[in-house]
Amino acid sequence: MASPIQLNMTSTRWKERAKFFRQLPREAAKEIAVTINDSAKALRTELRSRAPRKTGALRKSIRVVRRASARRLRAIVKIGKFYALMIEYGTRLLSARPFIRPSQEMRREPHRRVVKSAVNRAIHAIRI
């Protein structure tokens, strides 16, 4: 059986910024983690709303499996059905019905905006 699909909710150039995030005070990191978790839940909701409804099994398999914490600022949204990619990209017998890429595109900018805002608030709180 194929492995499930995982979508990571992290910022771009993560490794470059990892050192900075490790140096943040725990309370500031917790605030950023809450923001990332909220964004992951929004992506899950968007994916579920766009997923085909035939039996509902695909929609039910979309979950946030790893939540961000103060130590690990990453959340993972997982699609547990192997046939999700067949629906997304199509097969020779089934036309493509994309729902993953449009959901990611829809949530990309709002995710960046809220995470950036949370980081800026954390930095501002440190300076005060």
Predicted confidence (pLDDT) per residue in 10-62, tens digit: 555 666 667 777 777 888 888 888 999 999 999 999 999 999 998 999 999 99
User: pTM of the full predicted structure?
Assistant: 0.82
Residue 18 belongs to a domain = yes
Residue 128 belongs to a domain = no
The tens digit of pLDDT for each residue in 97-118 reads: 999 999 999 999 999 999 889 8
20 neighbors 73 (Cβ within 8 angstroms)? no
For 31, the token pair is: 């605030």
**In angstroms, how far is CA 99 from the centroid of its own chain?**
14
> Domains in the chain: how many in total?
1
Residue 39 belongs to a domain = yes
According to the model, what pLDDT value does residue 38 have? 93
11 neighbors 64 (Cβ within 8 angstroms)? no
Residue 83 belongs to a domain = yes
- Its domain, for residue 102, covers 5-123
Residue 74's pLDDT band, with cuts at 50, 70 and 90, is: confident
**Angstrom distance (rounded) from CA 99 to CA 118:** 28
Q: In sequence order, what E strands does the chain have?
A: 5-9, 62-66, 75-79
Residue 116 belongs to a domain = yes
Q: Quick one: which of 103, 54, 98 has its CA closest to 77?
A: 103
